Each structure stands twice: as structure tokens, then as C-alpha cells.
Amino acid sequence: MEWQEIKQVGVVGTGTMGHAIALQFALAGYPVTLVGHRAASLEKATAAIDHDLATFKEAGLLKEAAAAVTARITPTTDYAALAQADFVIESVVEDLKVKQAVWREIEAAVSEDALLGTNTSGLDPDAIQAVLKHPARFAVAHFFNPAQLMPLVEVVPGKETAPATVTVIVDLLNHIGKHAAPLKKAALGFVGNRIQLAVLRECLHIVNEGIADPAAVDDIVKYSLGRRWSLVGPLASADLGGLDIFAKISSYLYADLGAETGADPTLTAKVAKGELGLKSGQGFFDWQGEQGKQVVAARDQALLELLKKDQEEE
């Protein structure tokens, strides 16, 4: 199968990621079957899609009427509706047993030619595809949150995934305006989360060692590494800076970096106190009141501007 042969898409899961993935395909012109567990979850997803479309319209990113986009999305609780889908992507809760159960339902409903993807942020694709009768057509397609604004999707093969499956999914995702990055093989956390957690571990180490407070750490990343890495990645940055210099720094700095290998004690303590970040109103920072809302709104607005720039450059 070539990506051009994919005419209909199925999305299973109606949460934060599921509704956004459905929207991405509908914006690209694909009829989408959105499968949810309950009618109430489908209603919530529909409302979220309407909200995202209104945001896109306000930002000048919507090229047609919102009603034309939503008309392509068919919400249902019936897996049998996936029978005509050429590509199905699942985005349910990050629980292996739940995903395995859902995939048994999906495979029983789809045609033998349909390609399959799971939007997991780190579960082993081998363990998920182990329940499939045709695992060669299955791969991870890991969208980053918020999926409607972040361009990257990691495409990760399991041991039984056919190379052609990865190629078609990458081409399809690029066609709908995402930036798909294929991995050679699966690894715990894939690539994005491995890098994110490595940086986070050192940030926490710096705070715990009394080197800098959370606000200073965030400022240093935002106004130096963050800006640079949005233009050229860390490996290209090393090339530009001189690999001899980075080799010298690594010779003495690696040994002094944080090397926590278990659950991070700082994060564990925060969670135990109910300090979960934005969702609870308190984390390393205070997210209550208008200030927290303004930070999130400013982030999303900046992401919208970058998305608009991406579209202009296409």
C-alpha cells in the first residue's frame, strides 16, 4: 500500500490526544471515524474539536468553514464502523492491558489491508502487537501534546513491523502536515521522552544541589538551549560549536551530572503532596489564578504562530 491509497481514517480514543488526531486528519480532507467508549466522551471530544477549530480560525489557519471539517468526522461507539478505514490509529489510556484489549476489538473490525498505529508515549510496541494476528502492519505513531499544535510524530516499529508499514505511515503523516520522524527500532521512552527526561533529571539535580532555583533553570533553557535547538538540534549544535570542544567538556562534566536511576525523589515527593503541576494548581510553580492561564495561553499562541509559519513555508 502507498499513502495515496489511504482514503478513510479511523481514530479510537476521544481524549486530549484522540480528538486532536481526528481533527488533524479531517483538516487534511480525510473522512474520519472517531470511536469512543461512551456517548458522553464523544460529546466532549466534539466540543474540544469545535474549540480547536475556533482557535485555528482566529489565528488565520483555517482554510475552509469549520462545519466542512466537522462534517468529515463521524463519532460512534461501534468498532464495526472501522470496517472501511484504510488506516486506524488508537489513542486510549496508557495502560498495556487496556490497549491490548482495544486492539483485539480493532483488528476484529478492520479489513486485512488496513494499516494500524498506536499513539503511545512509551509502551513497548512489541507487547501491543503481540495480540495481533497481522502484526506486520502495526507501528507506533507517537504524537506530541498538544497534538493539534505540535508538528512532530515519532514513528516506531516493533520487531514484527514491516519496513513498508513505517514508510507509508511516515508519508501519510507528512502529507497531513506533521513532521514524522522514523526510528530504526523501539527503545524505552522512544527518543523524545528519553531526551526530555534526561534534561529534566539534570534540571532537578541542579535545583536539589542548590545551584539555581526552578525559575532560573527554566530561564536558562528558554533563552539559550531552547532557542538554539528550535533551529538546529543538539547534534548539529555540537557540530557548529566544534566536536573537539564538546569532547573536552564531556571528559570532566559527565561524571558530575545527575545520575538518578530510580523514580526521581523530587518528583515522587511532589506527587505525594498532591502537587501535580497545572492539573492541581501547584507544582514547581503556582498555576492558580490568571497567571497560570496566561502562561498556557501564551505558549499556545506561540505554537500557533510557528504552525502558521510552517504552513507559509510549505
pLDDT of residue 312: 81
Residues contacting residue 103 through CB under 8 Å, at least 6 positions apart: 90, 116, 118, 128, 129, 131, 132
Residues contacting residue 159 through CB under 8 Å, at least 6 positions apart: 126, 186
Which residue is it, cell 486506524? 88
User: From start to end of the chain, where are the E strands?
Assistant: 9-12, 32-35, 73-76, 87-90, 115-118, 138-143, 152-157, 179-182
pLDDT of residue 46: 97
Q: What is the pLDDT of the chain when averaged over all its residues?
A: 95
Give 77's Cβ-side CA count (13 Å radius): 7
> Cα torsion at 170, 177, 91, 141 (round to 10°)?
20
Q: Which of the residue ranges 39-53, 92-106, 299-313 would you say has the lowest mean pLDDT?
A: 299-313
- Whether the per-residue pLDDT at 22 is higher than 90: the answer is yes
Q: Provide the pLDDT confidence category of residue 290 given band limits of 50, 70 and 90.
A: confident
- Whether the per-residue pLDDT at 47 is higher than 90: the answer is yes
Residues contacting residue 178 through CB under 8 Å, at least 6 positions apart: 24, 143, 151, 152, 153
Residues contacting residue 70 through CB under 8 Å, at least 6 positions apart: 26, 46, 49, 50, 53
Q: Each residue of 106-145: pLDDT tens digit?
A: 999 999 999 999 999 989 999 999 999 999 999 999 999 9
The answer to whether 184 and 57 are in contact (CB under 8 A) is no
* β-strands 73-76, 32-35 pairing: parallel
Average pLDDT over residues 77-85: 97
Q: Provide the pLDDT confidence category of residue 310 given band limits of 50, 70 and 90.
A: confident
- From residue 248, how far is each of 238, 242, 243 by CA, in Å? 12, 10, 8
Residue ranges of domains in the chain, CATH in brackets? 3-182 (3.40.50.720)
DSSP three-state, residue 11: strand
Give the amino acid at 123.
L
Q: Each residue of 160-177: pLDDT tens digit?
A: 999 999 999 999 999 999
d(CA 10, CA 108): 14
- Per-position DSSP letters for 56-90, written without gaps between them: HHHTT---S-HHHHHTTEEEES-GGGGGG-SEEEE
Grid cell locating 73? 468526522
> Cα torsion at 6, 7, 13, 17 (round to 10°)?
70
- From residue 51, how far is each of 20, 48, 59, 144 by CA, in Å? 11, 5, 13, 19
Q: Each residue of 173-220: pLDDT tens digit?
A: 999 999 999 999 999 999 999 999 999 999 999 999 999 999 999 999
pLDDT of residue 23: 97
d(CA 193, CA 202): 14
